[in-house]
Structure 1
């Protein structure tokens, strides 16, 4: 393998390590998108039921009992650096992506498949998954060209799902108030004024940026280090030019024993004594 081939492989591996992967499993349901949608609901939707001690109806698509990945998500722990632990078997992984692969390959029995399961990623358009996760970077023109009519359609869809999740036993006035509360917390961002608000504070953005920069610098350094080492020790090329004297080619070195006058010239004192 030539040094150019090794360099290409190293660059490819570095690129692969920097790419954000998404693990898609059952019914083409995105884990990553489902995770963002779940976090949105856990922040803005579920607490409203807890505050009023209401039970989410079975026919509600956002009922946690229907969440296809909830059992697996509740049985893993991820720290601030992204390292993850599987509570099913105790294995440790260097990133959430790798534990997602592990869950898919080793613990598929913990993926909900009862015919009534719901993929939360299917609701990412109304739950603004791309915006909240930062996967979609928006700028001036996104907001300037925002289509209020399209967002109105999303808002209507969101309100429809909200109404399907309101308990039937509530009195009419309480039901109206509760629907308004849910719509305000879950659907109110579906306007041009609020749609592009990420909800990420400056500190979290700064921390993420620092981690990314450190990862890129360390990754690049390791790739360059091992690339140079492999080229030097395992290929015909080398970054260190060897001289003829120390080239290491012992078979080509010529040694001649001194004879006659050479011995006398080297050791004049011994010759004089004789």
Structure 2
């Protein structure tokens, strides 16, 4: 979603639950310092942790008093509407679907679309509203026909990586075969030149 929002140069209103200012954990997220895979640091006290989850626990234990409680919105509450399970769980497509839950998530999804991309705000908002419905809301069904993130996301990038890997596996043997044939041809020509040279060195009888 973010690339499309940035491309349209669109800014969320404060009424939108996706607005960064409405996230109760926004300040904590901004104080996460990522150095490398096993080096996460607290921006408040500079303590070092091996994994992000330990840093989150540290925030809960040591810096919960710094939360801006005036923002009571946790983005995790929107996971049902935004298909977080599809991103975090590779077995998403095989989980059982409950029509009532799908209908509830679709309703939440559509309310997000209406509040964040009100079609009365102009062409950009209208375009993003349609995209949001197509990307997220239409997939809240038990028919299995519609998948989330149909215009982007990890599934497509994974497909392209898989296709690129398969193409490399196919072309690599062809490349080595071509290299072998070239070397064999060069070797044959070298031997032929040697025979010609030796024949030229022989002294003709008088």
TM-score, with normalisation over the residues of structure 1? 0.46
In structure 2, relative to structure 1, the CA distance for the partners of 1:133 and 1:78 (3 Å cut) is: farther
* Contact 2:41–2:55, Cα closer than 8 Å, also in 1: yes
Q: Larger Cα Rg: Structure 1 or Structure 2?
A: 1
| Structure 2, unpaired ranges of 5+ | 162-206
Q: Cα offset for 1:179?
A: 1.4
Q: Which has the higher helix share?
A: 2
CA distance in 1, matches of 2:130, 2:27: 31
Match of 1:129 among 72, 77, 84: 84
Match of 1:77 among 33, 47, 50: 33
TM-score, with normalisation over the residues of structure 2? 0.59
CA distance in 1, matches of 2:137, 2:103: 10
Residue 50, structure 1, aligned to residue 1, structure 2: no
Q: Alignment RMSD, CA only?
A: 3.3
Match of 2:140 among 182, 187, 190: 190
Residue 170, structure 1, aligned to residue 116, structure 2: no
Count of residues in correspondence between the two structures:
153
CA distance in 1, matches of 2:86, 2:38: 21
Structure 2 SS opposite 1:146? coil
Higher relative contact order (CA 8 A, sep 6+): 1
* Contact 1:76–1:84, Cα closer than 8 Å, also in 2: yes
Q: Cα offset for 1:101?
A: 1.8
